[in-house]
Amino acid sequence: MRNFVIIPAGGAGVRSGFSKPKQYIKVNGVELIVYTLLNFQKCAKVDEIVIAASEQYFKLLSKLIIKYKLSKVSAVIEGGNERQDSVLNALSSLKAGPNDLIIVHDAARPLIPNSVLEDAICLAEAKGNAVVALKAKDTLVKGAQSIDSYINRDEIFLIQTPQIFKFSVLKKAMLSAKEDNFYGTDESMLVKRLGKKVYLSEGSSLNFKVTTKEDFELFKKLLH
C-alpha cells in the first residue's frame, strides 16, 4: 500500500484580501504552501505528493520544489474551476492501486502536527478512511441577530484536513458527483453520499486554515 498526497492549490484566495492566492503569500520570506508541503515531505508515511494548481503558478512551484528539496512532489497538474475539480484532476493523474490511500490536504493549513497526520493515516490504514476533525469546545448557538437556541456540542466536530480515503472509493465518489453535477464542501461529503461510513480522527487547533489577514498574523506569531 502506498500513500499519495493531493494538495489542491488552485483557489484564488479572494477572502484573504490579497491580490494573489493566499497559498503563494510569503510569510517570513517563505511561501505559505511551502510550509504545508514540508509537513508531508518530512512524514515517513507519505510516498508521493501531487499539487493541483493554476497554470500561471507552475514555474513558481517548480522553483520552490527545487529550492526546498521537496523530492516527494512527483507532479504539478492543472487545477479545475472548483476545489472538487482540482482533486479529481489530481486523482486521475495518479498511478495508484485501488487500496492505496489518497490524502487530501488544504494548501493553506501549514501547521498540521505530524502526530495528527500520522494518527489519521494509521486510522485510515485500519478502517479504510479517516477525516481529521476538531471537537467543538465553545458554546454553540443558533441565531442571527440574537440567540435563538443552544446546540449540544457533545457530538459536534469541526472538519479539517487531511481527509484520507482508498483510491478506488474516492474516485468512485468523485466520478459519481461529477455525473450528477453535485458539488460538496469536501471529500468526506462525497464519500458519505455513497453510503460509506466515514471515521473521525482527532485534529488540532494548530491545524487551522489560513484564510484572512488576521489568520496570517496568527500564523506569523506561531512561527516565532
Q: Could you tell me the pTM of the whole model?
A: 0.95
Report strand pairing: 30-31 vs 48-53.
unpaired
What is the Cα–Cα distance from 53 to 76, expressed in whole angstroms?
Answer: 7
Residue (of 53, 33, 40, 34) closest to 4 by Cα position? 40
CA angle 114, 117, 121 (to 5 degrees): 135
Q: Measure the CA dihedral 70/108/208/30, to 10°.
A: 60
Confidence of residue 20 (pLDDT cuts 50, 70, 90): confident
The total number of structural domains that make up the chain? 1
The whole-number pLDDT of residue 166 equals: 98
| DSSP-assigned beta bridge partners for residue 33 | none
- Domain span at 90: 3-223
* CATH number for 110: 3.90.550.10
* Residue 176 burial by Cβ neighbours in a 10 Å radius (0-12, 13-18, 19+): middle
Region 48-59: what's the mean pLDDT? 96
User: Is 75:50 a contact under the CB 8 Å cutoff?
Assistant: yes
What is the Cα–Cα distance from 89 to 78, expressed in whole angstroms?
Answer: 7
User: Is 107:9 a contact under the CB 8 Å cutoff?
Assistant: yes
What is the Cα–Cα distance from 207 to 102, expressed in whole angstroms?
Answer: 19
In whole angstroms, what separates CA 64 from the centre of its chain? 19
The whole-number pLDDT of residue 14 equals: 54
pLDDT digits (tens, 9 = 90+) for 91-136: 999 999 999 999 999 999 999 999 999 999 999 999 999 999 999 9
User: Is 33:43 a contact under the CB 8 Å cutoff?
Assistant: no
Q: What single-letter DSSP state applies at residue 44? A: T
The whole-number pLDDT of residue 18 equals: 75
The whole-number pLDDT of residue 84 equals: 96
| DSSP-assigned beta bridge partners for residue 49 | 5, 73
